[in-house]
Structure 1
Amino acid sequence: MRKELYVRSEGRLVKAVIRNYGRDDFAGLIDVQKACFPPPFPEELLWNEEQLACHVKTFPEGAICAEIDGVIVGSMTGLIVDMADYGHDHSWSAVTDDGYIRNHNPRGQTLYVVDIGVVPAYRQSGLGKWMMQTLYETVVHLGLDRLLGGGRMPGYGERAGTETPEQYVAKVLSGEWNDPVISFLLRCGRMPVGIADGYLEDEQSLNYAVLMEWRNPFKS
């Protein structure tokens, strides 16, 4: 898969490429991870080359990156799962095989998002939304039911003293508050379907995540 498009950056239009990533991209993908997830995000959760090799080997259709002027500036990874194997209150570690995706199940009906990231310099360009759209297209192309993933809620840590996770999400949905991750996913068309406790070791989110889906509009 490869497509070209223009995005706006610093007041000008620049050409971007969204494509599947391969072995030659590993160093660039790791650099993107470091830029996207600085401390206090746990360093051990950043991609390593073994994980990336598993992505490319196991489900290359779900391994995509965004490139501008030959430099990788964003990436997104997914796998197919049968959610009956994991249940509603699952963890990121369990459903993604600690990011190795060796549990990829071609017979499943859910494309599960492992991660998405765009380097800070291009976060207002729309690249994240275009990568998400690309995996929506993959859902349709493969005839799957939906895309699903857990969204961090990094603004919750500062509100936890007065709000439950459910109350926090409700105020983000009402527009009263903005959360950098949840609000972005809403703008991408994702819909919240629940909250998972202990989803990921994440100090800012107090280990909570909002499960958010996009359903294939061509399937009932």
Structure 2
Amino acid sequence: MYKQLYVIQEGKPELITIRNYSSEDMEGLIDVQRASFPPPFPEELWWNKEQLHEHVTRFPEGALCAIAGGRIIGSMTGLVVNMQQYGHNHNWSEVTDEGYIRNHDPQGDTLYVVDICVVPEYRKSGVGKWLMQSMYETVVQLGLSSLLGGGRMPGFSQYAHELSAQQYLDKVIAGQLKDPVITFLLRCGRVPVGIAEQYLEDEQSCNYAAIMQWKNPFIEKE
């Protein structure tokens, strides 16, 4: 994939490029992770070079990055799986092979999102939404049934003493609460289909995630 488009950065249009990342981009991708997921997010969950090598060799179509001014400002990674093997109450580690995607199944039916991140200064510019849209295009191109992935709920820890994870998600969907990740995914067209416990070591989300889906509109409903 390779495309150029404009996002609105600090009130002005800025040209960015979205393309598949390669082994030459590793340092820039790790820098994006460092900026995107500061503590208390566990440092060991940032990409390492071995993981990135697996991404670009096993499923390069699912390895996307966004570039502005010659700098990588965001990335998104996926793999193909057969979701019947996992169900909705899975965890990130098992479904992504701890981010190494060695379980990528070219015969699977679902593009599973391993990770999406955008450096803080570009988060309201539309970069994340365009990365998501580009991955939808990959789903359509490959004829897969859907895109699926766990959405962190970083606002949940503020309400965990009074709400269950499902109740919190319901309030976000009803517009009674806003969550920086779940609300973003809703804007991107993702729909919640379940809750996963112990999805990822994530203090802000109390280790929960909402399983969020986008269905390929060009696949006829059975």
Q: How is 1:136-155 mapped onto 2 (pairs within 5 angstroms)?
A: 136-155=136-155
Matching residue of 2:216: 216
Cα RMSD of the aligned pairs, angstroms, is: 0.5
In structure 2, give the amino acid aligned to 1:179: D
Matching residue of 2:70: 70
Normalised by the length of structure 2, the TM-score is 0.98
2: CA distance, partners of 1:61 / 1:111: 11
Matching residue of 2:159: 159
Matching residue of 1:83: 83
1: CA distance, partners of 2:13 / 2:144: 34
1: CA distance, partners of 2:195 / 2:25: 34
Matching residue of 1:193: 193
4+ runs of 1 displaced by more than 3 Å?
Answer: none
In structure 1, give the amino acid aligned to 2:94: A
Please state whether the residue corresponding to 1:87 is helix, strand or coil. Answer: coil
1: CA distance, partners of 2:113 / 2:139: 11
CA offsets 1:81-124 (integer angstroms, 9 cap, x no match): 00111122111000000000000001100000000000011001
Q: How is 1:36-51 mapped onto 2 (pairs within 5 angstroms)?
A: 36-51=36-51
In the alignment, structure 2 segments of 5+ residues that lack a partner are none
In structure 2, give the amino acid aligned to 1:194: G
Normalised by the length of structure 1, the TM-score is 0.99
1: CA distance, partners of 2:88 / 2:181: 20
1: CA distance, partners of 2:197 / 2:30: 28
In structure 2, give the amino acid aligned to 1:11: G
1: CA distance, partners of 2:33 / 2:70: 17
Matching residue of 1:100: 100
Matching residue of 1:30: 30
Please state whether the residue corresponding to 1:198 is helix, strand or coil. Answer: coil
In structure 1, give the amino acid aligned to 2:47: W
1: CA distance, partners of 2:21 / 2:40: 27
In structure 2, give the amino acid aligned to 1:142: L
Matching residue of 2:181: 181
1: CA distance, partners of 2:8 / 2:26: 26
In structure 2, give the amino acid aligned to 1:118: V
In structure 2, give the amino acid aligned to 1:7: V
Please state whether the residue corresponding to 1:95 is helix, strand or coil. Answer: helix
Matching residue of 1:14: 14
Matching residue of 1:109: 109
In structure 2, give the amino acid aligned to 1:129: K
Please state whether the residue corresponding to 2:136 is helix, strand or coil. Answer: helix
2: CA distance, partners of 1:185 / 1:46: 21
1: CA distance, partners of 2:100 / 2:22: 15
In structure 1, give the amino acid aligned to 2:165: P
1: CA distance, partners of 2:216 / 2:146: 5
Please state whether the residue corresponding to 2:75 is helix, strand or coil. Answer: strand
